[in-house]
Structure 1
Amino acid sequence: MYKVDITLKTFHFKRPAITSRGVYKTRQSFFVTLRDTDNPLVVGMGECATLPDLSCDAMPAADYERKLHEFCNRLEETGQIDRDSMRDFPSMLFGLESAMAQLKAGGNIDFFNTPFGKGQVGIPINGLVWMGTFDEMLQRLDEKIKQGFKCIKLKIGAIDFERELELIHCVRSSFSKDKIELRVDANGAFTPKEAMARLEYLAMQNVHSIEQPIAKGQWKELSELCTKSPVPIALDEELIGLNHSDEKKRLLDTVRPRFVVLKPSLHGGMSGTTEWVQLAEERGIRSWITSALESNIGLNAVSQLAARLYPNTSMAQGLGTGQLFEDNISFPIEIREEKLWVKL
């Protein structure tokens, strides 16, 4: 039999995280601690948290906790995670799947017996430059380059596009695409009318890819952009809320992006993310995984999944957001230059 406990913790950002959905100063996470009553000293822990106005299962905290208790009670009663019922609650599914994976690994942080989990190899990651003023973003770009990142992701859409091009040009004037890979994330900031012209400007700066150039829900326009864009397009927000196989297939077959960017807490938990990767691969679409403002508990789970899904990848993953909090949970993972490592 299993026993599940739920606790709530609030994390505080070192500096406000500015996104297309607003400004985050704090972040609430529910933690599920899973035990087998026959061996109660061994535990698995998972993190359940949504992003307001973005997650498909975002709801008031009291309602969220009530629903999470329902699923945890069902796990205690049946001994199984009810994945079918949890499809539309990906953040909760991710937390329970993480806890179960750790419990089955004997409580170790190496969930899936990978070289990364054993501390033998690191996972290449991108440096993330958050939205801000021109000067703030320029400073953050400089910091990421000095820290040794060979791949940098720049969130755009907060300031004038011309100024954002200046930022990108500042990098390209000193570093070729072979030295620094630049990814941009527009978070749907472009209109369909202006998107192609902006993509052409970005192509002049040898940008690797752009995430979600136009707002989600415009499949026809997005499909046309994916066909004609000189910059490879990656889908992110577009995947949110598509939690069933037929929906996923329809999106991929209609839009035909070059990449999909997967956040397990938004895109179906561990099982749903794995399905996205498989469906994308069948269609020649590449993918990478990124965290979604989790603490180190969630970040480790996302990283262990990435290590299992992409065992030999040289493609940078988006696994660095654990550095954002003043009061993060201490955990044996660290960033060394451009890679995430498990500390032995």
Structure 2
Amino acid sequence: MRVTFDLFTVHKRFALTISRGTYTENTNIGLKIESEGVEGLGEATPFSVVNGKEKNSEQLQQELEKLIPIIEPFHPLENQEIEGILKQNNVSSSLRAAIDTALYDWLGKKVNLPLWKIWGLNRNRIPPTSVTIGISSPEKAVERVRNWLNFMDAKVLKIKLGSPDGIEADKAMLLAIRQECPNLPLTVDANGGWNLKEAILMSEWLATQNVKYIEQPFAVGEESNLPQLYQRSPLPIFIDESCFNSEDIITYSPSIHGINIKLMKAGGLSEVMRMIAIAKACKLQIMYGCYSDSSLANTALCHLAPYADYLDLDSHLNLIDDPFQGVSLERGRLVLNNLPGLGVKYRNET
């Protein structure tokens, strides 16, 4: 098979601020696998869970350039062998995700079926996606809510908390949002911005605000706080940055209620399927999330969305220059098409 790639930069319509910083654009890698006249597409998005430890797109490019001669001798159907080689070479999870996704796209196009049909899933069971409100002043948060509601029929709002100004700033922002839309369900993501005392206090307070769950209350490395919060919180606790793969689920399952699966963390759809199986065996709830992913990566993960309890696949909706088109938006829900493979095309493609 032949492997090629290019870099593309996407810009956010509205900047996103979380506890670790503010993001306005991202440079991702678009990967292409070609064999037997069939082309499979994948995407690698640089991301970080700890400030200062992420790989940027240039570093991923250098890693990919060394990797291509190693995997090109394989056939796209040799996914198990390719996955083993990627792990042996300690390849970054986002690059593994791009390659694995492209292999599945190739397979679907080869047999002329969308992935959701190959896996026998019901695309009508995909839950609505939440849309994200970043950390800001109460006034700007309300403005962002109005922008989203003018753009789409949002069914769930995801609120980023963990403000550097403390939990009182978090409360003020959430109360302003709640006043603006008193009936919409909310979810909360602290992105590791709280300590144990703050997390307990906020869980008790948020339970009075029609909040569905709290995501990633503690920073990576502070997971020892999870059992105490698990015992005290009236709301379900999900982890994101603390859970990359299926092994992490087993480690933390006694002290959480759910996990956030992201394609870039997991390293591809193959690992996502393993994570789903283990999470369900541990009786955990499942949500899917994203980084600054385009429609390509979000459409890929959406093919497994019938397994999810919650979706937060909204990054592509906030891009002004998404080069791809795939999953569509209808009444707050992402809807998969009937095209083969991922069902993704370049936006300028007829």
**TM-score between the two structures when normalised by the length of structure 1:** 0.84
2:325 is matched by which residue type in structure 1?
A: F
Matched with 2:343 is none
Aligned residue number for residue 340 of structure 1: 334
Change in Cα spacing, 1:117 to 1:144, as seen in structure 2 (3 Å) is farther
Q: How large is the Cα RMSD of the aligned pairs? A: 2.9
Provide, for residues 261-314 of structure 1, a one-character-per-residue CA deviation record: whole Å limited to 9, x for no partner.
11110133222222222211111111111222111111211212324xx1xx6x
Aligned to 1:22: 21
Q: Deviations over 1:185-218 (max 9, x none)?
A: 0011111232211221111223110101121222
Task: Report what 1:75 is aligned to.
Answer: 71
Q: Give the alignment of 1:90-239 within 5 angstroms.
A: 90-106=93-109, 110-113=114-117, 123-145=127-149, 147-158=152-163, 159-172=165-178, 179-239=183-243
1:266 paired with 2:265, answer yes
Q: For residue 12 of structure 2, what is the aligned residue in structure 1?
A: 13
Match of 2:30 in 1: 31
CA contact (8 A) 1:294 1:321 kept: yes
Q: 1:290 to 1:134 in 2, by over 3 A?
A: same
Aligned structure 1 segments of 4 or more residues deviating by more than 6 angstroms = 114-121
Alpha-carbon shift at residue 118 of structure 1 (Å):
9.7
Q: 1:115 to 1:143 in 2, by over 3 A?
A: farther
Q: Which residue of 2 aligns with 1:250?
A: 251
Contact 2:130–2:312, Cα closer than 8 Å, also in 1 = yes
- Tell me how far apart the structure 2 counterparts of residues 32 and 184 of structure 1 sit (CA, whole Å): 33
Q: 1:52 to 1:187 in 2, by over 3 A?
A: closer
Q: Is the Cα contact below 8 Å between 1:236 and 1:260 reproduced in 2? A: yes
Contact 1:263–1:289, Cα closer than 8 Å, also in 2: yes
1:84 aligned partner: 84
CA displacement at 1:143 relative to structure 2: 3.8
Percent identical among aligned pairs is: 21
Question: Unaligned stretches of 5+ in structure 1?
Answer: none
Query: What residue is the counterpart of 2:321 in the other structure?
Result: 327
Q: Which amino acid aligns with 1:162?
A: E
Question: Any gaps of 5 or more consecutive residues in structure 2?
Answer: 339-350
TM normalised by structure 2 equals 0.83
SS in 1 for 2:235: coil
Change (3 A) 1:234 1:327: same
Output the CA distance in 2 between the equivalents of 1:29 and 1:251: 30
What per-residue deviation string (whole Å, max 9, x for no partner) do you get for residues 297-341 of structure 1? 11211212324xx1xx6x331111102222111414322221012
**CA deviation after TM superposition for structure 1 residue 115, in Å:** 10
